Structure 1
Amino acid sequence: MSEGWISFLIDEIGLYTLSNAGTDVYIIILLRMIRLIGFGATSLILALFLKSLGIPEQYIGLFMTLTFIGDLVSSFLLSIITDQIGRKKMLLACSVLMTLTGAVFGLSENYYVLVITAILGILTPSGGEVGPFRTVEQSSIASLVPHEKRSDIYAWYTFLGTFCAAFGSFLAGALIDIVQDNYGFTIVQSYKCVFWVYTLLSGICVILCLFITGNIEVKPDPGLEEPATTPEDNESEPTETSQLIPTTGNVTNKPKNKFRLLPHLSPDTYLLVIKLSLLFGLDSFASSLTPISWISYYIKNKFDVPSSYLGSVFFTTGFVSGFTSLGSTPLTKRFGAVVTMVFTHLPASILLALVPLPSSFSLTMGILVVRACTQTMDVAPKHVFLATLVSDSDRTAVFGFVNVVKTLAQVVGPSIVGVITQRGAQWISFVIAGSLKATYDIGMLVTFLTYNRHAVH
């Protein structure tokens, strides 16, 4: 009986799917894990590092805004040409760029040099993904994994990445205390050590990219080769993650330009992608008001905790967040992607608005941990839902477009936080962010409930 329950649990959380996913999927997930260790480490100390250089909060916010603008431009342009030059080459080139970014931050203390590097390079103030990595990897997984297995792989992709970002925060905090206490490093030198770790991790990613095979590259759309479906075929009920709006023969057979800003989609699919992008953009703008760099800055200033303790805070919340994200797989299979997205994300949105209320560190920590329980459970369902909207040949461009909209929405947020922080009112950013995120959740439910997969079950 116990073996049956164990087997059931393993299947529910997608371990069977993961164990048979193939080498390319493993490398993609490993790349994300290593990369997010670096992102988690640098995002924890980015605002603190800039402040230690004597830069006012207003200019720290501007720095983050310009960083997001650089990410916006690079993500948009590179996602357009990724499938033409090759997904493997794109991952390799961006990993090299990430390595160079870390090296410059490890060497320079000049604000203008750091700003230019952040714009042209790959760095994250939020602790999440930047650059075209996410776009390329999402579309590659969708190409490598069958429809019905994608929710499992996306859940593990999210969980392991979130866990590693949390570990990166812990690593940064511990490293700073070690080099200061044992080797007499100054605060600026200790922060630079974190950027050198970022450089090392990026170099490892460069090597791993060399082992990816051509299987991740875009495949010709089978719709171009297979005969048109009959009316009877079109009346059959869709599976959980099959394409929600099938591409008609007329749309599929349109000639495609080699370089195009957006793929050729049916009008209905275009409308869905635009609506989804706007709602994701609202959520991203809210997130830009409370990125990990500003949250760590807020907690350190309010409670004056040491760096190692600060790292432990985000390790704990990240671990909890990553572990609970695995629960999104069975929820998505049973209730559908939209319902899972909304009812796991809404509690986290409300709790975010409550973060400034406690006057004690322990209560603030408690709110952050409880929030982390459902904070990322909507990520894998998002990937699944978006992947069902378009065909494989258009997926990279559509993912890229959506991610560009999300990045564009994040541009002004850090500057706003910088201004209100300089005036001693950073707590307002948490209230606004939580309210906007709750609005996004309600908007998703109202707009996309009819596309939920629950009817299939």
Structure 2
Amino acid sequence: MTATWIKPTTYVFAARALRDFADAFIAILLPVYLLGLGFSPLQVGVVATASLFGSALLTIGVGLIGVRLDLRSLLLVAAGWMAASGVAMSVANDYLPLLAIAFVGTMNPSAGSVSVFVPLEHAVLARDTPDRERTSTFARYSLAGALAGALGGLAAATPDVITSLGLEQLSAIKLMFALYAALGLLGGLLYARIPPRPATHELERPAPLGPSRSIVIRLAALFSLDAFAGGFAVQSLLALWLFERFDLSLSQAGVFFFGTGVLSAISFPVAARLSRRIGLINTMVFTHIPSSVALALAALAPSLPLVLALLLVRAALSQMDVPTRSSYVMAVVTEAERAAAASFTSVPRSLAAAASPALAGALFAASYRAWPFLICAALKITYDLLLLVQFRHLKPPEET
């Protein structure tokens, strides 16, 4: 039986941590694996696009059936699918099977919040959290994932350790895919501890979008622009850029992405505290714009130390909108619409993010390696300004 003194949100935090740990090392190892198999940067970008587009379709499915099924049941199915994805990837070598696995599986080249798990977890957290604690809860949720993701970045160096013992690099990376599968199963065990929704509580049953439809559609459109921009700089492509431009090793990349993960983690509780002073929308916008400027400068910087310093600045700021954005969406819709709103805002994000990695891969292949990051920065700044103009007057309950 579930321990009554442990909140359901605790199991969600722990499952998110396992998943982000896995996503972080996969995001770094995937381009290395594909390049090691002889594929081009363009093909790497296409795999990233297929993965994100597949995630969008899975999230659409969740949005369609989530109003009828228990959130815990859907999370258990997703965890099983994650395990199957890792096993399939560990045995595939040819491009078309790998592309198909990326499309139908759960592997996340962005090492972030573009995932079928996210709207389900958001709905569970919002259901079990009072308004006054909502932003702090989402900050702790993001903090758990970011700290685990930082450790996952370090874990990306594991194949280097294994190869020093005599195993080939590609075989070592396959073992990491198997670890990804095992972490999916462990996440499923945690989701199983979440109490099921009582059948008698009709008011807690999710509902399709209704009174909040206009708000959610406008937010989804803006979030799509943000996600499309972010697709030009997903972590797999950023790692690929560092590998190709500066010849970073897996160990060096692992240490660097550990640092970015730690900075992102620190930023989440800071974002929650800042939002109480200046509001959720202002926190999202006024931390996001400087991070985009740092990315643009990094794309043009001439030396590796300066590039890494600017990317660390970006990491310290770029994710502060994650818990605040999640909290804001849950705040401005009715309780019954939360699952649908989380899904509806996640699906366009996933679809938009899926389009840009292939474009970035094409730019890489044409030797325009800085352009994806410059495009990303420009589009993200546009998104921030539009968000500020359209939603600065729509306050969540705790700000009114």
Q: Distance between the aligned counterparts of 2:222 and 2:136, measured in 1?
A: 24
Post-superposition offset of 1:23: 2.3
Query: TM-score of the superposition, structure 2-length normalised?
Result: 0.94
> 2:255 maps to what in 1?
312
> 1:4 maps to what in 2?
none
Post-superposition offset of 1:325: 1.5
The equivalent position to 1:192 in structure 2, one of 156, 169, 174, is: 174
> 1:301 maps to what in 2?
244
The C-alpha deviation readout for 1:9-30, integer Å capped at 9, x for no partner, is xxxxxxxxxxx99421100000
The C-alpha deviation readout for 1:224-248, integer Å capped at 9, x for no partner, is xxxxxxxxxxxxxxxxxxxxxxxxx
Post-superposition offset of 1:221: 3.1
Count of residue pairs the alignment pairs up: 397
> 1:421 maps to what in 2?
364
The C-alpha deviation readout for 1:169-190, integer Å capped at 9, x for no partner, is 11112x0110011x22222112
Q: 1:106 touches 1:195 (CA, 8 Å); kept in 2? A: yes
> 1:160 maps to what in 2?
144
1:212 is paired with a residue whose SS is: coil
Question: In structure 2, what residue type is equivalent to 1:40?
Answer: A
Question: In structure 2, what residue type is equivalent to 1:201?
Answer: L
Q: 1:140 touches 1:217 (CA, 8 Å); kept in 2? A: no
> 1:374 maps to what in 2?
317
Q: Distance between the aligned counterparts of 2:10 and 2:394, measured in 1?
A: 31
Q: Please, which runs of 5 or more residues in structure 1 have no aligned partner?
A: 1-19, 223-255
Indicate whether 1:91 and 2:75 are aligned: yes
> 1:345 maps to what in 2?
288
Q: 1:86 touches 1:217 (CA, 8 Å); kept in 2? A: no
Question: In structure 2, what residue type is equivalent to 1:205?
Answer: G
Post-superposition offset of 1:151: 0.8
Q: Distance between the aligned counterparts of 2:73 and 2:392, measured in 1?
A: 38
Question: In structure 2, what residue type is equivalent to 1:394?
Answer: E
Indicate whether 1:265 and 2:217 are aligned: no
> 2:22 maps to what in 1?
38
Question: In structure 1, what residue type is equivalent to 2:272?
Answer: T
> 1:364 maps to what in 2?
307
Q: 1:140 touches 1:216 (CA, 8 Å); kept in 2? A: no
The equivalent position to 1:106 in structure 2, one of 79, 83, 90, is: 90
Q: Please, which runs of 5 or more residues in structure 2 have no aligned partner?
A: none
Q: Distance between the aligned counterparts of 1:129 and 1:184, measured in 2?
A: 36
Query: TM-score of the superposition, structure 1-length normalised?
Result: 0.83
> 1:403 maps to what in 2?
346
1:402 is paired with a residue whose SS is: helix
> Would the alpha carbon gap of residues 264 and 212 (structure 1) be closer, same or farther in structure 2, given more than 3 Å must change?
closer
Indicate whether 1:210 and 2:192 are aligned: yes
> 1:178 maps to what in 2?
161
The C-alpha deviation readout for 1:394-451, integer Å capped at 9, x for no partner, is 1111110110010111121011011111111121001110011111111111111111
> Would the alpha carbon gap of residues 217 and 62 (structure 1) be closer, same or farther in structure 2, given more than 3 Å must change?
farther
Post-superposition offset of 1:344: 1.2
> Would the alpha carbon gap of residues 218 and 123 (structure 1) be closer, same or farther in structure 2, given more than 3 Å must change?
farther
Indicate whether 1:276 and 2:259 are aligned: no
Q: Distance between the aligned counterparts of 2:288 and 2:395, measured in 1?
A: 16
Q: 2:114 touches 2:349 (CA, 8 Å); kept in 1? A: no
Q: Distance between the aligned counterparts of 2:233 and 2:265, measured in 1?
A: 19
Q: 1:166 touches 1:319 (CA, 8 Å); kept in 2? A: yes
Post-superposition offset of 1:220: 3.1
Q: CA RMSD in A?
A: 2.1
Q: Distance between the aligned counterparts of 1:321 and 1:116, measured in 2?
A: 32
Q: 2:108 touches 2:115 (CA, 8 Å); kept in 1? A: no
> Would the alpha carbon gap of residues 131 and 374 (structure 1) be closer, same or farther in structure 2, given more than 3 Å must change?
closer
Q: Distance between the aligned counterparts of 1:326 and 1:192, measured in 2?
A: 35
Q: Distance between the aligned counterparts of 1:48 and 1:177, measured in 2?
A: 12
Post-superposition offset of 1:217: 8.6
2:112 is paired with a residue whose SS is: coil
Q: Distance between the aligned counterparts of 2:290 and 2:395, measured in 1?
A: 20
Post-superposition offset of 1:270: 2.0
Indicate whether 1:61 and 2:45 are aligned: yes
Post-superposition offset of 1:215: 5.0
Q: Structure 1 vs Structure 2: percent identity of aligned residues?
A: 26
Question: In structure 1, what residue type is equivalent to 2:235?
Answer: I
User: Highest Rg: 1 or 2?
Assistant: 1
Q: 1:277 touches 1:406 (CA, 8 Å); kept in 2? A: yes
